[in-house]
Structure 1
């Protein structure tokens, strides 16, 4: 290859070569200076520092004596003792490991005696640290908790077998609804408002459409109420209803109502809910409920 055309870029005058050489000398000198220099800072010690520290120790000691300070020891559940906590209490690594292995089996110690049996701590160490142990209330009062559990189970069972009248949700008053656990004035008003908008409920599954009702409350409602569709229900004639009438139906709104009218004019009457469900954006998951408000 011919590199002669590059000579004009690599040609330097005498002064330029001297300048480049001096630049290299400066760079190498700075590198050597940085390499062999010690940039670590030494702490400046005050000649009076030790004297100050001695005074401060005396002051702290006098404050401690004056306030009669005592180390605060907090009660704890020994089942959840940490390595550091066990070490501070005087336990050996082996003793702590025994407790950890015991806990990995999803077991618990429920007394100081069981703690000693599992860990193998000495009597003297147990007497020293057992005063800090705090076990759950149910451990210390097993008899009382067992009695309460039995009474609660008996009450729950008697409540389950208790018979009650199942009411028609369409005839329920606000007082009837408030009797259900979890329903107050606000939720009961929403249920009644939803019934007013729809004209009547046709399924208890419509409780899921009432904002604020939890699954547990809906289950309670279904156990205390049922749906009896009134004979006076005003159904919508989907093949003859106007756009305005269809758009006022809560499950349709204006956009879907317009598509229904357009589809009807182009394809003829709807024979059943399956024909209606062919329309785009139709809420298929609610087709069964919607069909009970329509007539074909």
Structure 2
């Protein structure tokens, strides 16, 4: 190869020089990309993709709400009034529920967790899981409940018992709903404060529906109630507008003397959690509900 031909291999025109320049430029760019990727591993890039904490908190909160909504909330309840559906939810078998219903059909009640197990024959493990939610009326813890009978019988009024003498003098019985504070003070044991308290309580109720409500007046002793009922009875019941328990708000329910706002809120929460209230007996399952006054309270409610 002569010298002239050797030089021809390194002799480039303008177009060839431009091509070589761009080729070198691409090589440099690829090398730079290679070193950048090598300097920042993929793991670090993955870690750099962080979730916004505020949005994650909202997502967790929504997930928690959905879990609570799908779960079944168990409120304190009187086991004497367990329905088929309620028993199924609590984990009772059909046979165990039927035993309770047969027992209740005889107008009998269980008054303790042990009695409940004796009647239904549920397992010890199921009893232990249900026991914390059992809520029996107060009188079951204090003694046997006595019912209103004939002359000289005793009537259960709240946690106290009242001896009622039904030997009413003919022609002298007055209407308890129209009695004035001055007239009530004529009864032995009732002074100015108690008489005013009775009238005030009656006004809040809109009038006594049944005579048993007289015993709900704060500070009125059972024996004094009995004396009042010798001369005063509910001769004319007042007209009341019943509250729809499945539609009323907490504020509406709390207008009833026997239901405070906190209890009203629990009733609404129970109603929403269970898709409505089908029976007044379900109210006993709600925490702090005055089960001993259920028969009176339901006079003011409707389903």
**TM category, shorter:** 0.3 to 0.5
Q: TM-score, normalised by structure 1?
A: 0.42
Report which of the two has the higher share of helix.
1
